[in-house]
Structure 1
Amino acid sequence: MPSSRAEGAPPVVTGIGVASGFGYGKQVLRTGLHAGADVFGVLARPGRQPAGAATPFIGVEMPDPPDVLPKRIARTAGLSGRVAVAVLGEAWTEAGLADVDPARIGLVVGGSNLQNREAVLALTAHGEGRAILSPHLGYSFFDTDICGLCCAAFPIRGFSLTVGGASASGAVAVLQAAEAVRSGRVDACIALGALQDLSHVDLAALQALGALGPRHAQAEAAPGAACRPFDRGRDGFVFGEACAALVLRRADDLPAGAAAYGSIVGGAHRADGHRGPDPSLEGELRAIRLALADAGIGPDAIDYVNAHGTGTPLGDDTEAAALLEAGLATARINATKSILGHGIAAAGAIEVAATLLQMRDGRLHPTRNLKTPIVPQLGWVGETSERLEVRHALSLSFGFGGIDTALVLRAPGA
């Protein structure tokens, strides 16, 4: 986020498109989130389970995307690309982008190595001599394939790029899109947190790292109990397919009758110097404090925090300590990953969408399985949704490689 406010007013979010384990569209997401519905199960997509695995991987998978692409194009697009187009379509229509000059529309795709499962399936088939490699694989392994697919499906002619921030990728995309609008580079910019299509190899590596949970055989019988952010019984994150698109525009450039979900009034994206998965209390604190300073408010003005909340022991402990030290003990706090699972690249974007939807509804979704909070003195939203008027919210995302982000969102009229 730019440090100077002379470049323009904070951008507003005017369109949201989402896909999750609940399906496609904002309404099913809102209903599922507020109900804290259970969508966890054994992962079933081809390439998600290793042959002969004694304990299968669990998580959340969404329904297949609607057929919005021409068949000749859909045949060449992977799951991540087809979901991106469906999600972008919802946000595009709601934001009225058909009336914006295509040369003034930008796209930032959050995520890297987005189509690994497709690559593993192709490699397996090719290695066994069962298939001739499709020429489309020659470019689909680049993350820009999703940029190109979206820009071919919609008239986006300003710019397109991808940003990788591991689990913070979606939030980094929102920050970059906000900067592009605020600086006047484009009139509208879409931040897309892309679906991270993990393979069984990726899942096994994350489990070997100690990040992916659960690590016990009983989870197969009760997968809905495995994802437990900030609970004493947590033992790792649980993967969940997700994708979200947010359209950012200037408040003074909205069509007549258009309503904004809220504005991006502050943000920070900082490096904390860690190469691997270990979190940094100092880095998370810096991001929170810089985002609040960018918004021109103190911690006491934050009504609600959408926490990163993965369910990893060290990650949750560090984040809870950062929230306390940052002076956010009076804010209400929940973890969207407890319901949707961890969307990796998409997480930051769909959590910003969830935050804005909760602000509009005046209602906070529950945190599934939060029975014994690790730090009881923080303002946790437990297993029941709560009514709350949110004027300012803070959304946090932290990624492997020492990437710490924070976004401050303001409700319309606040």
Structure 2
Amino acid sequence: MPSPAPEFLITGVGITAAIGSGRDAFLAALLEARHAFASMTRPGRQAPGLDPFTGAEIPGLPEPQGVPARALRTASLSARAALTAVGEAWRDAGLDDVDPARIGLIVGGSNIQQRELVLAHQRHADRPQFIRPTYGMSFLDTDLCGFCTELYGIQGFARTLGGASASGLLAILDAVQAVRSGQVDVAIAVGALMDVSYWELLALRGMGAMGSVRFAGDPAAACRPFDAARDGFIFGEACGAVVVERAGSRAQLGPYAYILGSAVTMDRNRNPDPSLDGEVRVIEGALQQAGVTAADIDYVNPHGTGSPLGDEIELGALRKCGLTHARINATKSVTGHGLSAAGAVEVIATVLQMRAGRLHPTRNLSDPIDTSFDWVGAQAVEHQVTTALSLSMGFSGISSAICLRRF
């Protein structure tokens, strides 16, 4: 009996990232493996008396279209990035003619504006009574919902969803559920820019999740997922927006991919330790819901952070699920780890590569920890992706996966 036709589509994407803002610039940078890793310079990212952290920062500030200058004066970096990404995704999907009461918004991420809060506290440490009244809104993650719904007239619903580094992908999966349930006809999922301060960076490096100072003198070499010399993730600013709709629900401009299936599992573990069992279960769950086998997958976009243990466990799960034959690269090797944004950014990278028929290189993969996989190495390769799997993991034992098919 033939499988039922896929129900849900990705019909628009928007991206702002350190390597390039806008889907064309982003894809071009990916395919050329153009990175933006350097010592970070944003105020609030330097710990007093310590060497700067390595990461990738968006040049300047995103300039979203159509936002009054007065509103932008109180918009955080995270809000500006969300407005820019949602705007591009909105235009890409052609949403101007959709009833605004039938459009919903999910912002993936929590505690996403820490650097802004640190700077506000520092500015007003000796005169707290002069704090801006708008701080009463801007310290909340829902401020991004307010900005985006006001500018784009969204009236269906808006909410935030936190899932650590899996937040961006979880937002996409929540968007599918919102459309499936009939709550809205169109749902926009945002992987929010997590604007970390030096406090978060110090803690993440201290726990061994973020890369050490080993490559402080050579930032270009610091981010190296799946390489033997990796020693943790390298932060990269990014924000991605994905539009989800039911297939055939309207005259869609040019869909990217069908969403075949997905899965989310929990490892019952507060700590950041990855779980082989949890990752195997989430891969198997996504394949089962999609109605495909491992043999049908011809491309994997992994979580691939550069974590010493996490990369080993992830490849172990892919191997156990029979996915060593699929082409594989690591988007974070070029973009850095966007934390709450990562899952959405990597789904966007996946569908853009599908459309282009090319796969981007994996930077710094000099000595792969497992040579049994079909790696995309230092050069982009031609490859017509038909069915892809993208993985996204988060602290507290969250594993998520989505299966996509080229439209």
* TM-score, normalised by the number of residues in structure 2: 0.97
Contact (CA 8 Å) 1:9, 1:250: kept in 2 or not?
A: no
Render the CA deviation track for 1:275-334: whole Å, top value 9, x for unaligned.
Answer: 021111100111000000000000010000001000010100100100100110100111
Which residue is 1:295 aligned to? 290
CA distance in 2, matches of 1:10, 1:275: 35
Contact (CA 8 Å) 2:6, 2:259: kept in 1 or not?
A: no
The DSSP-based 3-state class of the residue aligned with 2:280 is: helix
Once the two structures are superposed, the pairs formed by residues 4-403 of structure 1 within 5 Å of their partners are 9-53=6-50, 55-63=51-59, 64-66=61-63, 68=65, 69-129=67-127, 132-216=130-214, 219-255=215-251, 258-403=253-398
Which letter maps to 1:175? L
Which letter maps to 1:293? Q
* C-alpha distance 104-67 of structure 1, shift in aligned 2 (>3 A): closer
CA distance in 2, matches of 1:187, 1:375: 43
CA distance in 1, matches of 2:213, 2:276: 26
The offset of 1:182, in angstroms, is 2.3
The offset of 1:67, in angstroms, is 5.0
The offset of 1:206, in angstroms, is 0.4
The offset of 1:22, in angstroms, is 2.2
Contact (CA 8 Å) 2:78, 2:192: kept in 1 or not?
A: yes
* C-alpha distance 67-265 of structure 1, shift in aligned 2 (>3 A): closer
Contact (CA 8 Å) 1:61, 1:240: kept in 2 or not?
A: yes
What's the RMSD between the two structures over aligned residues? 1.4
Contact (CA 8 Å) 2:20, 2:29: kept in 1 or not?
A: no
Render the CA deviation track for 1:228-265: whole Å, top value 9, x for unaligned.
Answer: 00000000000000000011111112326x21100111
CA distance in 1, matches of 2:384, 2:246: 24
Contact (CA 8 Å) 2:361, 2:380: kept in 1 or not?
A: yes
CA distance in 2, matches of 1:104, 1:397: 28
The offset of 1:9, in angstroms, is 4.5
Which letter maps to 1:182? R
* C-alpha distance 99-198 of structure 1, shift in aligned 2 (>3 A): same
Contact (CA 8 Å) 2:210, 2:232: kept in 1 or not?
A: yes
Contact (CA 8 Å) 1:362, 1:390: kept in 2 or not?
A: yes
The offset of 1:47, in angstroms, is 0.4
Which letter maps to 2:303? H
The DSSP-based 3-state class of the residue aligned with 1:192 is: strand
Which letter maps to 1:83? A
The offset of 1:131, in angstroms, is 8.2
Which letter maps to 1:103? A
CA distance in 2, matches of 1:227, 1:172: 25
CA distance in 2, matches of 1:350, 1:310: 13
Corresponding residue pairs, total:
403
Contact (CA 8 Å) 1:214, 1:237: kept in 2 or not?
A: no
Extract unaligned runs of 5+ from structure 1: none
CA distance in 1, matches of 2:130, 2:162: 31
Render the CA deviation track for 1:81-108: whole Å, top value 9, x for unaligned.
Answer: 0111011111101111110000100101
Stretches of 4+ moved more than 6 A in 1? none
Contact (CA 8 Å) 2:19, 2:35: kept in 1 or not?
A: no
CA distance in 2, matches of 1:212, 1:255: 45
Contact (CA 8 Å) 1:364, 1:385: kept in 2 or not?
A: yes
Contact (CA 8 Å) 1:125, 1:131: kept in 2 or not?
A: no
- More deviation in 320-329 or 138-147? 138-147
CA distance in 2, matches of 1:45, 1:148: 25
CA distance in 1, matches of 2:69, 2:128: 23
CA distance in 2, matches of 1:141, 1:276: 26
The DSSP-based 3-state class of the residue aligned with 1:22 is: coil
Extract unaligned runs of 5+ from structure 2: none
Which letter maps to 1:215? V
The DSSP-based 3-state class of the residue aligned with 1:99 is: coil
The DSSP-based 3-state class of the residue aligned with 1:150 is: helix
- More deviation in 64-73 or 42-51? 64-73
Render the CA deviation track for 1:8-64: whole Å, top value 9, x for unaligned.
Answer: 9521111110001123200110110000112111101100001221x2101000121
The offset of 1:130, in angstroms, is 8.6
